[in-house]
Amino acid sequence: MGPSLLLINQRYHNVMKQLILRLTMSLIGIAAGIYFRDFWLSPWGPPTFIFLVWLAVSLIMSWTGKGRPWSFRFGLPFGIGIAISLTITFWAGLYAGIVAIIVLIYLGYRTHFFERWANQ
């Protein structure tokens, strides 16, 4: 096998690992949503969901790549923004949540938040 074929095979292997991981996590989330339906509809359901989304988004957005240090300066504000918009969506309504996320994206654009993250 030539070097280019090995490179393509390695990329395919990495893509398949990511797809399998995403599929597994999605299936776990679907199963938890079905199995714990009574909990999610209880008064503790929405705050728990918001906390889990905040935690997952913060960790995922903090990861800058294999072998590189974590960037919590980007992950935590990003996760907090998503949590704020979800909180507004749950308790004020869908359109208020949409407005909140648009305002947060605008503020991120005006403060060059995304550009600083891209330059790290």
For 77-101, the pLDDT digits (tens) are: 888 988 999 899 988 988 998 999 8
Nearest to 51 by CA among 65, 62, 40: 40
Question: Is residue 62 within 8 Å of residue 76, measured between CB atoms?
Answer: yes
Residue 44 Cα distances to 4, 50, 55, angstroms: 53, 10, 17
Nearest to 99 by CA among 109, 90, 89: 89
State mean pLDDT over 59-72: 74
In degrees and rounded to multiples of 5, residue 87 shows phi and psi of: -60, -45
The answer to whether the predicted template modeling score (pTM) of the entire model surpasses 0.85 is no
8-state DSSP, 66: T
